[in-house]
A and B are shown apart, each in its own frame.
Chain A
């Protein structure tokens, strides 16, 4: 693949760019995980059903991407991608419910906290599902950049 000596520095640069992109994806996942735990466990806001599904997609990213970073294994992007996309889709759906585009009656939120509740806001302004969507979007983009670099 990279037998020609002249292409080596370019490849290395690509791999380093991939590592940086993975680091950013991991950083977003780490901050989102810490934030979700803070909202849930410290501030005592119980997560609604859709929040739980997004957590299921977000929390493992910290471990998967973290191990990839420590071992400089850029292929971790490949394993993280399905989780990131699943979380992104659920976050988008949650945002649509929150903004009233999709009716909440369609989701199983009868018990526990409501997914469309105004309570799912940080500091009373930013809706938590929007934060989640932004985080997953950032991760998806960073993973895409990383996979381009990993292919080099």
Chain B
């Protein structure tokens, strides 16, 4: 064997080993997540979780969301449109995955708005203005209070609610469920209990489509 073929052969061998490792690792971790969902199926949706769309829809998208996460921001209108275009067949359940610094404060503000029936307005405003308050090196979630000042909240009440025991409990539960379901990046999607492992908009649409077909028995 000459030198060139030794070198090129080694490259090929390492690349093949790498790809084999990818296949083995992905299938194993997919299996782990599936198992985690099976053993913790009650952790997907809690009675306290915000629901967007028809509450009795056949297909449920559970989204573990971090208000500071840019990809969650990018996915928000996509998921909203999917729910709106589904004629009541798809609903969104929002769970929280506060993986960034300051995310828990942002969630508290959103939940305080929810107690006054202004959750979706507050969430949409917080998402739209995310670049202003959610810089990862210097998060300023308190700014959200000013940014949602005009949606019609009783501010004094909201600020009291934001640090209330109800929100504490909700945050603890969501973080526990996030860990039980092995969600380690956001947004983490589950469609009728199936985790979206191969991440992407098209993949999410395909999974929802598949669950819709299954639900309609065709």
Greatest chain A CB density within 10 A among B14, B15, B185 is at B14
**In chain B, what residue has the closest Cβ to A19?**
B3
Contacts of A70 in B (CB 8 A): 3-4, 7
- Say if the beta carbon of B35 comes within 8 Å of chain A: no
Greatest chain A CB density within 10 A among B7, B10, B14 is at B7
Q: Interface size bucket, B side?
A: 10 to 19
B10 touches A38 (CB 8 A): no
Q: Is the interface of A mostly helix, strand, loop or mixed?
A: helix
A42 touches B26 (CB 8 A): yes
A42 touches B14 (CB 8 A): no
Other-chain residue from A30, A38, A43, A111 in contact with B137 (beta carbon distance below 8 A): A111
List residues 177-204 of chain B with CB under 8 A from any CB of chain A: 184-185
A9 to B158, CA, bound (A): 87
Other-chain residue from B11, B17, B18, B184 in contact with A44 (beta carbon distance below 8 A): B184
A42 touches B3 (CB 8 A): no
Contacts of A72 in B (CB 8 A): 3
A34 touches B26 (CB 8 A): no
- Say if the beta carbon of A31 comes within 8 Å of chain B: yes
Other-chain residue from A23, A27, A37, A66 in contact with B18 (beta carbon distance below 8 A): A37
Other-chain residue from A34, A43, A66 in contact with B25 (beta carbon distance below 8 A): A43
B18 touches A38 (CB 8 A): yes
A30 touches B11 (CB 8 A): yes
- Say if the beta carbon of B160 comes within 8 Å of chain A: no
Q: A30-B14, A111-B136 are in contact. Are A69 and B21 (CB under 8 A)?
A: no
Contacts of B22 in A (CB 8 A): 38, 42
A59 to B136, CA, bound (A): 28
Contacts of B15 in A (CB 8 A): 34
**In chain A, what residue has the closest Cβ to B21?**
A38
Q: A42-B21, A42-B26 are in contact. Are A69 and B14 (CB under 8 A)?
A: no
Contacts of B85 in A (CB 8 A): none
**In chain B, what residue has the closest Cβ to A62?**
B11
List residues 107-135 of chain A with CB under 8 A from any CB of chain B: 111
A96 to B59, CA, bound (A): 52
B18 touches A69 (CB 8 A): no
- Say if the beta carbon of B156 comes within 8 Å of chain A: no
Residues on A lying within 8 angstroms of B by beta carbon are 19, 23, 26-27, 30-31, 34, 37-38, 42-44, 66, 69-70, 72, 111
Given contacts A44-B184, A111-B136, 9 further A-B contacts (CB under 8 A): A31-B14, A34-B18, A37-B18, A38-B25, A42-B22, A66-B7, A70-B4, A70-B7, A111-B137
Could you name 25 residue pairs across A and B whose Cβ atoms are closer than 8 Å? A23-B7, A26-B7, A27-B10, A30-B10, A34-B14, A34-B15, A34-B17, A37-B18, A38-B18, A38-B21, A38-B22, A38-B25, A42-B21, A42-B25, A42-B26, A44-B184, A44-B185, A66-B7, A69-B3, A69-B7, A70-B4, A70-B7, A72-B3, A111-B136, A111-B137
